[in-house]
Amino acid sequence: MATGLTFVIPDLHGRFDLLNAAVARIVAYASGQAATVVTLGDYVDRGPDSSSIIESLMGWRSENLSLVALKGNHEDMMWRTCSHLPDASWWIMNGGDRTLVSYGQALAEQAKLRIIPGHHLDWIAQLPLLHVDKYRVYVHAAVDPARALNQQDHRVLLWKRYREGVDVGHGDRHVVHGHHDMAGGPIVMKHRTNLDTMAWKTGRLIVGVFEDQKAGGAIEFIEVRGEPAP
């Protein structure tokens, strides 16, 4: 029975095909029951179809699946570059060139930041950095276990990577995150779960299924397969 479930989709990086496949699997799993879908950010860059992912999430419509879209560091880079940074190279060398192509720019052209619609940037600007329920914290990158959730540094939430083997949550809550790409993942520990399997490159996306009234990690993983990046 799907009531009281949260489905978590990690870093997509322009793989609109994997998003569509994941949503189809989630819809089938939920079977019409109310559930939450949390996307962990990094919708843009590297892969081929960032603009379609943003458009799809902005236009999310479902009678039973409520969407919580979080911000990733790549959305932060995109927004900062398009809003006020004088030099786009920081974003471009981190995959922003592929994002601009998804909006219609030719690959070899100089960055034309105005090609990105303002309402897409406005949507990115208001994305939350955390989602918290009774037993878990959902975040793009990491949380600081020594700080209250309302006092977290945005740089930690968006950019931090846990050291290998470090198993820490936040108080009694399990932390669910992406950002640290591990092709052989997911990485499942007692206090945290890393879902990022470098899906944009491997073609392998892992969706975590969490029971809202049950503490700890996922009760199941949904594996979505697509073509690896050429």
pLDDT in tens, 103-140: 999 877 888 899 999 999 999 999 999 999 999 999 99
pLDDT at 2: 45
Q: For the domain 5-225, what is the CATH code?
A: 3.60.21.10
pTM: 0.96
Mean pLDDT of 194-211: 98
pLDDT in tens, 11-39: 999 999 999 999 999 999 999 999 999 99
Mean pLDDT of 187-205: 98
pLDDT at 3: 52
Domains of the chain by residue range: 5-225
pLDDT at 1: 39
One-letter-per-residue 3-state SS of the chain: CCCCEEEEECCCCCCHHHHHHHHHHHHHHHCCCCEEEEECCCCCCCCCCHHHHHHHHHCCCCCCEEEEECCCHHHHHHHHHHHCCCCCHHHHHHHHHHHHHHCCCCCCCCCCHHHCCHHHHHHHHCCCCEEECCCEEEECCCCCCCCCHHHCCHHHHHHCCCCCCCCCCECCEEEEECCCCCCCCCEECCCEEECCCCHHHHCEEEEEEEECCCCCCCCEEEEEECCCCC
